[in-house]
Amino acid sequence: MTTNQSPTRSPAPLRSFKLTAPNAQPSRWAVVLHGILGSGTNLRTFARQLALASPEWGFLLPDLRGHGDSPSGEPPHNVAACAADVLALASSQGITPSTILGHSFGGKVALACAQLAEAQGRPVERVWVLDAPPGRADVSLAVSSEVVQVVLALRGLPDRFERREELVTLLTAQGFSLALAQWMTTNLRSTGDGLRWRFDLDVISALLQDYAVTDAWPTLNDPARQTIVDVVRAERSERWSAEELARFAAAAGSGVKLHLLPDAGHWVHVDNPEGLLQMVQREGLGGSGSR
């Protein structure tokens, strides 16, 4: 994987929670990673569905650095640093992940985790990448993406609100959907002087910039890679260029598989959770088969 920097300081101590089926004693663990501007709770419902369907699995859901209740950590703030954070968290919890599943930004972090874990002699069996093209972002697609537009909009908003409705009004006035504006209110926490952001916008901006220039294809094309990689493309996602899709055709048979999830936009676990659950169950949560 090609990144513009590598972590040089101690990993950030991430906040997280574990999710298992009732009364289950998991023998295997998966880490579930959210995207930019999100938190570990974003994929909680989907992870719970997986746990109920496969009670032998437990799920670790962290808040990535600068997000939710996790600290910002020390720079550099990039995909590689996030991967180091995640593996350090798993180790502190006594967990050796068999699988890592990541949505959007978290998808590239998942691939970086697999690369780092393999270098440490603890290879991950399988990675699921949810609607995150592995290559460097197409400039025209990246600039127009909703996440980038939201981050730019947040720069012009107050850092304190009296009521959550204030944020909804400001974002919808700039053309963002009511659903997105309401979701953004989950990133506000109550403080002594009102509502403030739960994330570090400077860290998020740095992570987003690094995500755009991070190329995971060297990892996917590595003949020595031990991890099976499943990439899910949402049918209505606008993030995929023709060039990126062509690279998957060339990678056929190398332990990399591209799946198309129908009836879904970028938020695959919200738009078609049942279809996504069936896909993961059909292909396998852990490693199986041959490359």
Tell me, yes or no, whether 8 lies in a domain: no
Asked whether residue 2 is domain-assigned, the answer is: no
For residues 223 and 125, membership in a common domain is answered with: yes
Residues 40 and 88 in one domain: yes
The residue among 202, 232, 248 that closes a domain is 202
Are residue 48 and residue 120 in the same domain, yes or no? yes
- Please check whether residue 6 lies inside any domain of the structure: no
| End-to-end CA, the chain | 19
Q: Which residue range forms the structural domain that includes residue 186? A: 141-202
- Rounded Cα gap, residues 146 and 158, in angstroms: 20
In the prediction, which pLDDT does 289 show? Answer: 45
Beta bridge partners of 17: 61
Residues 124 and 211 in one domain: yes
Do 264 and 220 sit in the same domain of this protein?
Answer: yes
Reported as a single tens digit per residue, the pLDDT across 38-83 is 999 999 999 999 999 999 999 999 999 999 999 999 999 999 999 9
pLDDT at 150 over 50: yes
Are 128 and 247 within one domain? yes
pLDDT attached to residue 245? 94
Same domain, 147 and 172: yes
Q: Are residues 28 and 86 in the same domain?
A: yes
In which band, very low, low, confident or very high, does the pLDDT at 263 lie, cut at 50, 70 and 90? very high
Same domain, 52 and 145: no
- Both tokens of 95, joined, read 């967990």
- Report yes or no on 210 lying in a domain: yes
Instruction: Assess if residue 291 is contained within a domain.
Output: no
Residue that terminates a domain, selected from 161, 178, 202 = 202
Statement to judge: residues 118 and 48 lie in one domain: yes
Residue 264 domain-assigned?
yes
Shared domain for 181 and 258, answered yes or no, is no
Least confident of 92-106, 110-124, 135-149, 266-280: 135-149
33's CB contacts (< 8 A; 6+ apart) are 62, 64, 86, 100, 101, 102, 103, 106, 107, 109, 110
Q: How many structural domains are present in the chain? A: 2
11 lies in some domain: no
Task: Specify the higher pLDDT residue, 252 or 14.
Answer: 14
The CATH number of the domain where 87 resides is what? 3.40.50.1820
Query: Among residues 184, 202, 220, which one ends one of the domains?
Result: 202
Once rounded to an integer, what is the mean pLDDT over residues 16-28? 96
Residue pLDDT, tens place only, 155-186: 999 989 999 999 999 999 999 999 899 999 99
Q: Is the pTM of this model over 0.85?
A: yes
Report yes or no on 130 lying in a domain: yes
Same domain flag for 148 and 238:
no
